Every structure is written in structure tokens, then in C-alpha cells.
Structure 1
């Protein structure tokens, strides 16, 4: 006798559904910190991203991220995210990054949910910057210099602002209207003075935390080595390099999210440093998971210059998808779709 399986349903969650769940920045940072520690303990299955680059004249590409986390729920959770990276989308009134996430039961392969992952992509990036800063930046950091005003920028700045006693936030981007709008967006949610400046040099001058999240089409030095002072914490993560080749020469510690991810693909802020051997497994200080899980110390002195390069781990997407799905199930949010 052939047994007919019970009907299978998938919970579909759009952006509006996720907004109703009222997930806070503190919730996101905690979820990311926990999964980074799990990665350090070997409790995740992580696959470096792959790229799909259509024949579209170089206007954009897709990133495909796959991961599994043992510690989420009773049986763990697996997921796949596809995110487009299309810089000219602003001309059409669209985000440069639009993403979709599928999550699965790792014991049966049953799909559990399909969700808009654009918000996940934005906040998990900011949360990783914040978690890195928690362990690697000086606790008394006062000045934040941020280059870039794209979707992830807001989470970068606001989450850092929530963790440090900042006295000034400086922001810039290529288009004046973009940086001014970003500064106004930030002023609406923080009491920390926010200043829109015309150049990256102005943003980074004397800054304690330097974040480079630019959207370049070809390598151009925006974060100059000379701008990195003793005690600084540096986060370069633009898709195309905006740093000088000798940047790592002044660093006391270089930390990445995952060394295999650092070596994958043709994109990334330190791509040239990996390709030329300036950054290798031997010169690398640690993966952030080893620090967050307590296996290695983070910042040890106030004078250390520390660089953190994070490319974006699929396990962060899985962790935040789990947070969303758990909240959505409790609230019966979203739309149930018949799978089979």
C-alpha cells in the first residue's frame, strides 16, 4: 500500500508581515552574537557563497548563500538565501539589494518558510559590524566615520550608536542628496550629532571606528592607510575594494568572519590582499567566532589597530530567519501556502 503524505504548507512572510513582529535591534544583535559563537564552537555547517553573474552589462549579480545551524530549535535549521546586488537600482526607486530566504527542516528536507530577506540582509550586516565592534573596538570610542548610505548603512550606524558613547557620527556617500538624506534619517532616531561630509577623508579623519561600505564600480582608495590611528577599529566591507594595498601593514590584528568565505568569489574589500598573499591564514589573527566563543582574546590594548573584514555569513541569515519564523508562528503572521 502506498501511503499518501499529509498536506504540506509553507509560511510565506512578506516585508509587511515581518514589520508587524516588532523585532528590535537588540534582538538582532543577540541572535547574531549567539550564532557567531556557535560558528566558533563548530555548531554550524557553513558553505561559502557562490555568485551568479548574468550577461547584463555588469550592472549587478546574485549571491547565493547556504547554511545550517545546529543550535536553532530542537533539530536545527537549514536555509538558502538568494540576494541580488544591483547598484543602479536607485534610478528605478528600488533597493540595491533584494533578497529571498527559504528555510528547511534539516531532518526531512521539508520547506518551512519563504520570506522576504531584504531586511534580514540589511540588519544582519549591521549586527555583524556591531558584534565585531563589541569585541574589537575600544569601549570608549567616540567618533564614527561611515562611508556609504545604502540599506545596510542605517543598521551599521544605529547599532554601533546603541553600543558606544558616540559624540559624533560622520557620514558620506558619492551623491550629495544621498548622504544628506541619510544624515536626516539618522537624526530622526538618535541624539548623537550627525554630520554629512563631502569626502571619505573628512569622515575618517580622527575617527575611532571607521566603516567603509561604499558601492564602487572599480577599485578606488577611499579608506586611506594614513587615516587609521592607534586604537582605531576598521571595517571595510564594500563589494569592490576601497582601501589601499598597504592597509594591513599598519594593523595589529586582522579578523574575518570566516577564512573560507574570505577566499571565495571575485568580490570583496580585501580581495587583492588575499590574492597577493598579504592576507593569508598565517597572517590572519582569528575568525570572529573564536573570539566571541572565548577561545581567543579580542582587543587587548587601547592602542591596537584592528581590522574586521566580514563578507556576510549564511548562518546569520539562518539565525534571523529562525527568529522571524518563531515570532511569526506565535503570532500566526504571514500567509500559509499549499506546497503539496
Structure 2
């Protein structure tokens, strides 16, 4: 007996034409984070493939099953910081969605937008539960693709009066400032140093692209009531940062412990961050099992490394929209 199986290929332009809005992305991420808190997801921590390429970049491999969506998925995403020299994004990704009951592949899609949007949406969902509702000043280090999603989604949720940004390259940060001003009425201030970005900010996001550890986010700049999100691949925070935090929240503790990269890798390796010192996983808060912010003076840190369940949730959203619009290209699998 011969079976004929087709799958839907969705390119970047195919996905762009679906015009999936930021509110849809935030809702999908918040829903799957709550499902994670209820134990309704299955995933393994990411693994890394580091080619013998002179240290210019590596691949992250992520895989997950979300029971409520009836789909499993695998994402491969490259992390190549020097790609700007070639006119390419630093992160290019691809997702394969599969039927968890038969193993049949359902779709292959460009996941570059997914990677950017799910990161910004996770920052936004974390802020929804952990930042002060009256946060006025956002300080953001980093101007890569995920930075745009971080800032624009936070700008939707909070009554911001100022957005401060910087990055290592002057031309990059200036261009980023121009791009932000095109989409927001909130004043955007481009500055030269991380200290200028973070000093007195209510929401502090560190999304740098370091190749070696460097303390860009200094502990002394974190004021009472601040919400801090460090998620660069290489640490850009001081080791005593956690000493001033009232609560430390992660996306998933297993994910936090895995791999050789991550903003708080040194804190985990030295025992400064452990299962005992951790306050919660975000899913526990979103699903109502633990409170989030409980006072206006709490300093709260949220470390998210990028859960595969977020990729699967957004890929599923895209696939359903594409099926309804008959978008993409149907490919013969066998």
C-alpha cells in the first residue's frame, strides 16, 4: 500500500502576508506558558551544535509537544553574530511541525519571524505579571531583531514616557532608533552607553551580542521596583546582581541549567542561582499557582532562554492561518 503525504511549506514572505498581529502573538505565548505551568507540555532543553567554524556562530536545536494544540515541532536556529557583515540577520531559523500521533510532517516554515516575535512576546508576558503597571522608562541594550519585538510589545502594554536604547555599533543603534520612531509616539533616546540606558529605568532589558562576558548591566543601577530581563547569549551582568533581587523567575528551570550559554550561566554554575533560591517558573505565575509582583518596591528579575513550546505555539498559529488562507506551497513528501 502506498500513502501520499503532502506538507505545507511557508516562506518568510508567505508568513508576512498573513499579517499576524502582536496581540495574537502575545496571546498565543501567554496561553502556552500557562499550559506549561499546568504540566500540559512536553519538551527537552535545547541542545547546541557548534561547528568547527572559527567561533563565528552555533546552532540551537529545540523540540516540543503542546498537548492542547495537538502538534509537535522541532526548530533549528543559527546564532551567528557576524552575519551583519553579509547583510544577513544574526538569527535564521526553520521549524518543522509534526503530527504527534502518527509522526507525519505537517509543515516546514521559515521561523525567523517566530524567533523574534516569541522572544518579544515572552518578555512582554513576563512584564505583564512582574513589572510595575505604571512603568514609565524602558532601558534596552541591543538592537538585533528580537530587540524590536521586545520594545514594541512592551510599548503596547505600558504607559511609557521614554525608551532608551544603545548597542555596540553606533550605526546600528542610530538606525534602530530611526526604526522605532517610525512605529511609536513614545520618545526614543539613543545613547552611547549601557549606564545611560539603565540608570533609573523601570524596565531594564539586556539583549546584547557579546562574545566575551562584560558587565553592561551593573547591579548599582537597579532601583527598587525595577523589572530586569537579562537574556543575552553571553553574560552581561555582574555576579552580585541576584543579591539585590526580591524575586528571580525563569521560563523553565531545566532549560536554565542546560547548555553552555546564557545570561546567568555563571550564576547557575556557581550556585548563586539554584532551585532553592529561585522564586518560580513563569508558568506557575501565569497559571495562578503563585503570585507575581506583590509590591511596587520589589526588584524582580526574569530570565528567559527561549522555550521550544513558544516556537511550536506560534508555528501552530501560523499554520492555522495559512490553512484558512490556503497560503504557502504544498509539497509532496512521499
- Answering whether residue 161 of structure 2 is matched by residue 167 of structure 1, we say yes
- Answering whether residue 323 of structure 2 is matched by residue 329 of structure 1, we say yes
Give 2:73's aligned residue: 79
2 CA distance for matches of 1:253 and 1:4? Answer: 57
Give 1:211's aligned residue: 205
1 CA distance for matches of 2:173 and 2:199? Answer: 17
- Answering whether residue 2 of structure 2 is matched by residue 4 of structure 1, we say yes
**Which segments of 5 or more consecutive residues in structure 1 lack a partner in the other structure?**
none
1 CA distance for matches of 2:33 and 2:27? Answer: 10
Match of 1:32 among 18, 29, 33: 29
Give 1:97's aligned residue: 91
Give 1:248's aligned residue: 242
Give 2:20's aligned residue: 23
SS in 1 for 2:113: helix
2 CA distance for matches of 1:144 and 1:4? Answer: 58
After TM superposition, give the deviation of residue 4 of structure 1 in Å.
2.1
1:193-218 Cα deviation digits (max 9, x unpaired): 00100000000010000000000000
2 CA distance for matches of 1:36 and 1:22? Answer: 23
- Answering whether residue 152 of structure 2 is matched by residue 154 of structure 1, we say no
1:240-260 Cα deviation digits (max 9, x unpaired): 000000000000000000000
1 CA distance for matches of 2:200 and 2:208? Answer: 19
Give 2:266's aligned residue: 272
2 CA distance for matches of 1:252 and 1:58? Answer: 37
2 CA distance for matches of 1:125 and 1:336? Answer: 29
Q: Normalization by structure 2: what TM-score? A: 1.00
Q: CA RMSD in A?
A: 0.4
SS in 2 for 1:97: coil
Give 1:235's aligned residue: 229
2 CA distance for matches of 1:86 and 1:135? Answer: 32
2 CA distance for matches of 1:83 and 1:43? Answer: 25
- Answering whether residue 109 of structure 2 is matched by residue 115 of structure 1, we say yes
- Answering whether residue 184 of structure 2 is matched by residue 190 of structure 1, we say yes
- Answering whether residue 54 of structure 2 is matched by residue 62 of structure 1, we say no
Q: Normalization by structure 1: what TM-score? A: 0.98
Q: How many residues align?
A: 334
SS in 2 for 1:71: helix
SS in 1 for 2:163: strand
2 CA distance for matches of 1:252 and 1:185? Answer: 35
Give 1:48's aligned residue: 45
Match of 1:133 among 121, 127, 147: 127
- Answering whether residue 118 of structure 2 is matched by residue 124 of structure 1, we say yes
SS in 2 for 1:246: helix
1:102-156 Cα deviation digits (max 9, x unpaired): 0000000000000000000000000000000000000000000000000000000
**Which segments of 5 or more consecutive residues in structure 2 lack a partner in the other structure?**
none
SS in 1 for 2:319: helix
2 CA distance for matches of 1:264 and 1:82? Answer: 17
1:14-34 Cα deviation digits (max 9, x unpaired): 000001111000000000000
